Structure 1
Amino acid sequence: MIENIQNPFFEATKNVFNLMLDLQDVSETSAENFDHNKCLNICIGVTGDLTGKVVYKFDDKTSLNVVNIISGMEIDSIDDFVTSAISEIANIISGNVFSMLAETNIICDILPPYVATAEDDKEYHVDKDICIVTSVGNVCLSIKLDKSK
């Protein structure tokens, strides 16, 4: 299951976007098509049978579009409110992923979200990017996990 771990991440993201944002047009794309420079990077730590992190990279425009939908307000800059809302979405997606994995006897806990400011050079057993395209913008999930010893 760990080799195909991107599948539960894609399914959970698609489900959360469908339920919370009413987005039906969620699809995967190549990481090469994603601009990693102007993003709100939210990191969720993982402990348990798998350890590591998942970094949710929301393009700035996508972050604003998502928060405008869920808040019903017109917000035009990344601030603490936007960061908090996007952090909660990353938290919800992660919770869904690890609930799915628990059904396959992979038991993990997630840690509170935080803004990731730098990439690390650590090598992980699983190091995959899943980039997702929607009508409100793009999101890339950087999955960096190891099997616990």
Structure 2
Amino acid sequence: MTDLYNPFLEATRNVFQLMLDLTDVSGQPADCFDCEKELDVSIGFTGDLQGEVVYRLPHETAFGLVNSMSGMEFDEVDEFVTSAVSEIANIISGNVVTLLAGEDLTCDILPPVLKTPDEGEEYTIRTACCVTTSLGEVYLDIRFNPGE
């Protein structure tokens, strides 16, 4: 099975550099992410891989990303912040689909949805990545099953 960690890290690095002019993006494998106030956005995947990636951002990271992207200051999670973070997650996931196509995997993404942390479904392919930037950390919980 394809390594999923690297495509997600590469796509996140590319999108953050293009959209937010962040050049200090690094990643490392992660086991857990614990933050009292976080914004979780899920992007579903269908096709050769079925499942989702959950983008978990501490509120301060979400504010930093949205402030940088919009030029406006935010200090609470509102509809604008949620929409902007969802769009960033959507763009990263779209880039991942393109990278996976280069590895002969055909996938599509579903619209972003707000998510509450859960561990309901079993996944055979699990990896996680903590992406660190000057604006804060973003945790990617990547969980898939092979497509039917």
The answer to whether TM tops 0.5 is: yes
Structure 1 runs (4+) greater than 4 angstroms displaced: none
Task: Give matches, 1:1-149, under 5 Å.
Answer: 1-2=1-2, 4-31=3-30, 34-149=33-148
Unpaired segments ≥5 residues, structure 2? none
RMSD over equivalenced CA pairs, Å: 1.4
Distance 1:23 1:107 in 2: 29
Distance 1:15 1:94 in 2: 12
Q: What is the percentage of aligned positions where both structures have the same residue? A: 51
1:35–1:59 CA contact under 8 A, matched in 2: no
Count of aligned positions: 148
1:66-115 Cα deviation digits (max 9, x unpaired): 00011111111110100000000000000000111112210000000010
TM-score of the aligned structures, taking structure 1 as reference length: 0.94
2:53–2:140 CA contact under 8 A, matched in 1: yes
TM-aligned CA distance change 1:80 to 1:123, over 3 Å: same
TM-aligned CA distance change 1:30 to 1:100, over 3 Å: closer
Unpaired segments ≥5 residues, structure 1? none
Distance 2:31 2:6 in 1: 19
Amino acid at match of 1:76: D
Q: Which deviates the most, 30-39 or 7-16?
A: 30-39
TM-aligned CA distance change 1:52 to 1:30, over 3 Å: closer
Q: CA deviation at 1:42?
A: 0.2
TM-aligned CA distance change 1:123 to 1:36, over 3 Å: farther
